[in-house]
Structure 1
């Protein structure tokens, strides 16, 4: 497995991973367009993919504009192999090398993602939107995790 920076040519496979997940699914896959993905990985922030045998099996994207983790998803067939943690750590290392502003994300309650983020040291800080949990990671807290 290789973790590398996401490129626009990866978007088709990124979309396959995003739409394969069993939790935190999109109500309509068209809500996240290829253009959105390209914009986030080339202009607003940066993304990374985990690739094995030429196939993207996980990805993450950080947004420097809104200080947000826009995405972190693993294909269900590749879960529980440490890919999410590797992507998470590369992404946060990059984010905090660019700025020390706290970064936030949101996720659906009662999902494995909630446990994952708590284990990585994220703090639950409230509700986002109508029904998602909002988490925050500060620079200081991230450094303590290292």
Structure 2
């Protein structure tokens, strides 16, 4: 497994991973364009991928402008191998080395993602829209809390 910073040339494979998931499925895939991915990778924040034999099997992207996790997805057949946890760690370490502002994300109820974020030390803070839970990770919780231990 190779973990590295995502590049624009990775966008096709990132989109393939995003469209392969069984939970948190996009209601309208056309709304997450290659241009959106490029903006989040190069202007708004940064992303990372996990590659196995030249195939991207997972990715994470964080947004420094809105201080949120824009994406963290793993191909279903590669779940449970620690890839998400490692991408999560890389992403949070980078983010909190750029800023101390609280990071947030939204995810659907009763999903593996919800359980994952709870285990990584995220705190539920309410709703994100009508169909998602909002989680937050503060700088202190990242540095001294559950995220540092996970």
Q: TM-score scaled by structure 1? A: 0.99
CA RMSD of aligned residues (A): 0.5
Alpha-carbon offset, residue 119 of structure 1: 0.2
List structure 1 runs of 4+ shifted beyond 3 angstroms. Answer: none
The aligned counterpart of 2:25 is 25
Structure 2: which 5+ runs fail to align? none
* Secondary structure of residue in 2 paired with 1:14: helix
Q: Distance in 2 between matches of 1:81 and 1:91?
A: 17
Which residue pairs with 2:54 in the alignment? 54
DSSP 3-state at the match of 1:19 = helix
- Give the distance between the partners of 1:131 and 1:20, measured in 2 at CA: 21
In structure 1, the partner of 2:123 is: 123
Q: For 1:14-93, list aligned pairs within 5 A.
A: 14-93=14-93
In structure 2, the residue matched to 1:108 is 108
Give the count of matched residue pairs: 146
Structure 1 gap ranges (5+): none
Residue in structure 2 matched with residue 9 of structure 1 by the alignment: 9
Equivalent position SS for 2:96: helix
Q: State the TM-score, normalizing by the size of structure 2.
A: 0.96
**2 CA distance for matches of 1:29 and 1:14?**
13
